[in-house]
Amino acid sequence: MAKIVVVGAGIGGISQVYELRKTLGNQHEIVLVGDSDRFEFTPSNPWVAVGWRKEGQVCVELPELMKKHGVEFHNVGAKRLHPEFNKVELGDGTEIEYDYLIIATGPKLAFEEVPGLGPNGGFTQSICKTGHADTSFIDFEKLVADPGPVVVGAAPGASCFGPAYEYIFILDTELKKRKIRDKVPMHFVTPEPYIGHLGLDGVGDTKSLLESEFRNRHIHWTTNARITEVTDGKINFTEVDEDGNDKKTHELEFRHSMILPAFKGVEAIAGIEGLTNPRDFILIDEYQRNPKYNNVYAVGVCVAIPPVSPTPVATGAPKTGYMIESMVTATTHNIKGAIEGKPPSAKGSWAAVCLADFGDTGVAFVALPQIPPRNTNWASQGKWVHVAKIAYEKYFLHKVRAAKTEPYYEKMVLKMVGAERLKDQS
């Protein structure tokens, strides 16, 4: 009997334990290590931040759920991984041995890289965690009571730009509902070289679609922006030219601001030689395995992926939900093969399928594969995206509660747009 430990209870970790249980049956031991008792559906965080969802509506309690499906669950987090000894040291000092380890921790939010950034000791809000989004809603209500300028965007080195776009458009929609949009100047500040780059060098016509949306909503923007400092009510940033040379410095006042940070690997894996790159993301081969420790796999945001192309201000490549599930499926197949003494064969398609909600409309895009050159590269806009995002939220939370992996109707819909979880090996 093999013992498989999954560290991280987000979208990647939860999907991973369910796929492992379905594929391997009950004859192998599966352990999940999270840092709290709940799963958070982070794509709903922009809605939480404006009061469209309550925190509890987008979270699922895990202890009883994991017990029901035969998964041993620990809620104290991982303090340190010891891949040379096949052990995970937990936050309470205990240790778990494993035959196979899957790292799905998500990122460390590197607020400290910009002075004054972040909700804990800083002056900006975040929607990276559901608790952060709940705190951001409190600050949003202060804005409603005393309207003033808003600045939304991303710090240098950021890789997940979609939520920033979602948030500024959802914020615009809610302010219009409250009939105070005319009192709130809005500015979007991003390290991307152009609007709609998304860390992906654009997908389809995202540049034109998102620029048009900004113009229609009277939102100003600055690209190639390197935020250098945030003080109480002010954001300082430098605009650079195409060669990365400083061009102009700016200072924007704000009453409310949400800035996405850059990501790093979490402390539990930091600096482990052969496991991580200089920013502590997990090094993997094409089969999701670490090259040095072949019984260690990684999925999700913690995986090291090089930028799509160099940009004047540093940006990273995002890991979208379907891309993460693609990694999960490949990992499951390869661990099953390893248990059976077979070499790895499954490679994730790494397809980006995204629904970006703008409150009353939205943009959907498909990039297959996520990193160019692509076989499929399109984006589409319309009110249907807003409706589809709501449906997707309900559907995914149902998947978590019901321990489903890839229902037939999900597989059919995604196949229609050419998305498969695994690469065609033919």
Q: Which residues are catalytic?
A: 160, 354
CA dihedral 317, 362, 45, 168 (to 10 degrees): 90
How many CB atoms lie under 10 A from the CB of residue 61? 13
Q: Report whether the peptide linkage leading into residue 373 is cis, meaning its omega lies within 30 degrees of zero.
A: yes
Instruction: Quote the CA–CA distance of 100 and 87 in Å, as a whole number.
Output: 10
Secondary structure letter of residue 150 according to DSSP: E
The H-or-E segment that residue 19 falls in is helix 11-24
- Nearest Cα neighbor of 163 from 299, 311, 320 is 320
Coil, helix or strand at residue 159: coil
Nearest to 83 by CA among 1, 2, 5, 20: 5
Residue positions counted in the chain: 426
Angle between helical axes of 321-339 and 11-24 (0-180°, round to 10): 40
